Each structure stands twice: as C-alpha cells, then as structure tokens.
C-alpha cells in the first residue's frame, strides 16, 4: 500500500515507497553506476566555490556545474567524457507510478552527502519543461529537507526524508525554494560508510509543441 501525503499544494510525500530490499538492490546498481561515472565535486558558477555535496548522474542527460560553464545539463561526464550510465528500471517505475507525466525522465542527478554536507535553499530551474514534476528518492541517513514558496523569503516547512522516501515536486510548487539543512548521521545502516544519497529524476527538454 502506498501512502501519499500532501506537504503543500504540488508536493506529495510517499514515505517508505521503496522497501528495504529494493533499497539494497538500487544501492547495488548505483555502486556500479558510480564506478562508470565517478562522483565529482561541482563548483558554483562565477565564484568557483565547491558544493559540499558530491554528484554524478545517470540517464540520457546529467546536471553539472562549474565556474566557467555554470549550471547545465549535458550528455557526458565532465571528467571522463563518457555518456552517463543507463537509469535503473526501478527509477523509471517510480516515475511511471508517481509522477503522472507521460514522457519519461531524461536525467537522474545523484547527490551524495557525507555527514556535514548540506544543500542551500535553491530552485530547480535549469530545465525547459516546468510542467513536468521532479521526483526525488532518498537512500541512507535521514535528511532534514526544507521547502518554502516561490520567493526565497517565503515561510518554510521542514520534513525529514528517510531511506526509501519519495517526494514528487510539481505544479504550483515546481519553482518553490527548497534545500537540505543537514543530514542526521547514524540514522540508517543502508550505506556501508554512512551518509545520504538523493536521486532526482527530471525532464529537461521542452515538451513538443
């Protein structure tokens, strides 16, 4: 049984959508993906300041960022130049079952948080299709997620994202500010070295007219 909880209009939370056995299988796939497409440390446009989160991608496109090129999607890994590995089937299934958007996901961003990593409040706006939601799946230690409105100063709500949880982010909330204040070390035994993985599935290209 899938429990769906509306956090704010446009944001639906599916606690424990992926059971532990599925989490283990997905983690195993991700470990293979990260051999082919190693984690890299993105840097901020202009300042070149490194993110505290390490990243990689799977799917036909991947999100990258560096001082020179800024935020963007590209078909290849910024260091190896190789195409991104294929997206695991279970992620495509999550999209089919929960996103309610017929075109499939093009990009899956893999965020890896060590104990002290965090992600500042931001909007996801590097995609050309804001009609499509973003679907996020969390693995490993709990992350304290914060979501506000379309203005950075809007009031926010906090939510603990645990291993196996899915969040679908669309409609009136597609451009809401959100971030990860901190992770809670020791809250999961899924990742052998601890930490948290968050996967976000996106449509990137504009829908056909």
Q: Does the footprint of ligand MD6 cover residue 119 (CB under 6 A)?
A: yes
- Segment contacting Fe ion (CB under 5 A): 33-41, 46-54, 120-128, 140-148? 120-128
Instruction: Decide whether 124 or 165 has the Cβ nearer to Fe ion.
Output: 124
Q: Does the footprint of ligand MD6 cover residue 56 (CB under 6 A)?
A: no
Burial class (CB in 10 A: 0-12, 13-18, 19+), 81: exposed
Q: Could you tell me the smallest distance in angstroms from the CB atom of residue 29 to Fe ion?
A: 22
Question: Of the candidates 101, 195, 198, 203, which one interacts with ligand MD6 according to CB under 6 A?
Answer: 198
Dist. CA 83–CA 22, nearest whole Å: 26
Cβ contact 16:5 at 8 Å: no
Burial class (CB in 10 A: 0-12, 13-18, 19+), 209: exposed
Q: Could you tell me the smallest distance in angstroms from the CB atom of residue 200 to ligand MD6?
A: 5
Q: Does the footprint of Fe ion cover residue 124 (CB under 5 A)?
A: yes
Question: Of the candidates 200, 201, 203, 204, which one interacts with ligand MD6 according to CB under 6 A?
Answer: 200
Dist. CA 75–CA 90, nearest whole Å: 21
Burial class (CB in 10 A: 0-12, 13-18, 19+), 116: exposed
The DSSP 8-state label assigned to residue 103 in this structure reads: S
Q: Does the footprint of ligand MD6 cover residue 162 (CB under 6 A)?
A: no
Q: Does the footprint of ligand MD6 cover residue 169 (CB under 6 A)?
A: yes
Instruction: Decide whether 18 or 167 has the Cβ nearer to ligand MD6.
Output: 167
183 closest CA partner among 116, 84, 97, 111: 116
Which of ligand MD6, Fe ion, none sits in contact with 111, Cβ below 5 to 8 A by type?
Answer: ligand MD6
The DSSP 8-state label assigned to residue 171 in this structure reads: G
Question: Of the candidates 54, 111, 156, 163, which one interacts with ligand MD6 according to CB under 6 A?
Answer: 111
Chain residues in the site for ligand MD6 (CB under 6 A): 111, 119, 124, 134, 136, 143, 145, 161, 167, 169, 178, 180, 198, 200
């Amino acid at each position: 049984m899938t429990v769906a909880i509306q956090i704010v209009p446009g944001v639906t939370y599916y606690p424990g959508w992926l059971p532990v056995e599925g989490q283990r299988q997905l983690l195993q796939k991700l470990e293979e993906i990260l051999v082919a497409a190693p984690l890299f440390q993105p840097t901020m446009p202009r300042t070149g300041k490194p993110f505290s989160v390490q990243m990689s991608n799977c799917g036909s496109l991947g999100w990258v960022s560096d001082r020179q090129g800024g935020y963007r999607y590209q078909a290849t890994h910024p260091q190896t130049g190789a195409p991104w590995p294929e997206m695991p089937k279970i992620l495509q299934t999550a999209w089919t079952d929960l996103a309610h958007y017929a075109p499939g996901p093009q990009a899956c961003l893999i965020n890896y948080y060590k104990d002290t990593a965090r992600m500042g409040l931001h909007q996801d706006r590097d995609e050309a299709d804001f009609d499509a939601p973003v679907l996020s799946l969390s693995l490993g230690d709990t992350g304290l997620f914060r979501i506000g409105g379309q203005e950075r100063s809007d009031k926010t709500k906090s939510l603990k994202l645990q291993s196996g949880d899915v969040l679908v982010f669309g409609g009136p909330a597609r451009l809401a500010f959100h971030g990860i204040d901190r992770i809670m070390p020791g809250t999961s035994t899924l990742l052998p070295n601890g930490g948290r993985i968050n996967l976000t599935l996106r449509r990137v290209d504009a829908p056909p007219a």
